[in-house]
């Protein structure tokens, strides 16, 4: 192997160690279903990320929690896009409501779901992860994302960067418009990562 490629791969391993190694060799984690939480934000009336989260929680027999911003985004698509654009590119935090009943100390594996907004996670998800980075330390954390066709873009990398103390395992993106015809993909996403006892 060319030494520059090898050096680059090694540097990537140092920078994103757990992400890269788990991405290369995903192994399902044996965990009690009571120790798995699914936390998500969803905005559109279709509720693509909500649908994904519900099915992931059902498959893992895990508890489901919703992230809600204190100030809701406009229900109009274009206005919401305009409002979210500077927040997303500026990596700003949008204040979120306290999530009733969620005590992260109870969980070993936390799935976090977001729609792709401007190539990254929606700001309420950035807020949740940032505010809970200490509580997520040492835990297994896994991102799932739905999108309008853009794929993962910067989402998984920016997510992992917010959680240096967590074991961030391989993220997955789903095309939002296909999510309801692809339930087996969501189930496989869970099966590849956890075996819930």
Ligand X SMILES: Cc1cc2nc3c(=O)[nH]c(=O)nc-3n(C[C@H](O)[C@H](O)[C@H](O)COP(=O)(O)O)c2cc1C
Residue nearest ligand X by beta-carbon distance:
176
**Measured from the CB atom, is 43 or 159 closer to ligand X?**
43
- Quote the tokens at residue 31: 């965990």
Note whether 177 and 147 are within 8 A (CB). no
Of the candidates 61, 55, 58, 23, the residue with the CA atom closest to the CA atom of residue 42: 55
Binding mask 23-62 for ligand X (x = CB under 6 A): -------------------xxx-xxxxx------------
Distance (Å, whole) CA 16 – CA 118: 23
**Measured from the CB atom, is 127 or 146 closer to ligand X?**
146
117 binding ligand X? (CB under 6 A): yes
Of the candidates 108, 111, 104, the residue with the CA atom closest to the CA atom of residue 190: 111
**Measured from the CB atom, is 84 or 190 closer to ligand X?**
84
Answer for which of 150, 165, 180, 195 binds ligand X (CB under 6 A) is 150
Please give the angle made by the CA atoms of 77, 40 and 88, to the nearest 5 degrees.
50
Provide the binding-site residues for ligand X, judged by CB under 6 A. 42-44, 46-50, 77, 80-81, 84, 115-119, 146-150, 176
């Amino acid at each position: 192997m060319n030494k520059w490629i090898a050096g680059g791969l090694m540097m990537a391993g140092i920078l994103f160690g757990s992400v890269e190694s788990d991405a290369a060799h995903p192994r399902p984690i044996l965990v009690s279903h009571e120790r798995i939480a699914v936390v998500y934000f969803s905005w559109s009336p279709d509720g693509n990320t909500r649908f994904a989260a519900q099915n992931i929680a059902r498959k893992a027999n895990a508890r489901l929690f919703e992230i809600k911003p204190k100030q809701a985004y406009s229900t109009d698509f274009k206005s919401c896009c305009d409002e979210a654009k500077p927040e997303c590119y500026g990596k700003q935090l949008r204040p979120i409501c306290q999530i009733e009943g969620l005590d992260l100390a109870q969980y070993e594996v936390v799935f976090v779901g977001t729609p792709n907004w401007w190539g990254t996670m929606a700001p309420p998800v950035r807020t949740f992860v940032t505010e809970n980075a200490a509580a997520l330390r040492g835990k297994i954390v896994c991102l799932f994302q739905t999108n309008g066709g853009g794929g993962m873009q910067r989402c998984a990398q920016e997510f992992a960067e917010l959680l240096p103390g967590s074991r961030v395992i391989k993220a997955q993106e789903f095309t939002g418009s296909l999510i309801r015809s692809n339930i087996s993909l969501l189930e496989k996403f869970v099966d590849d990562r956890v075996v819930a006892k």
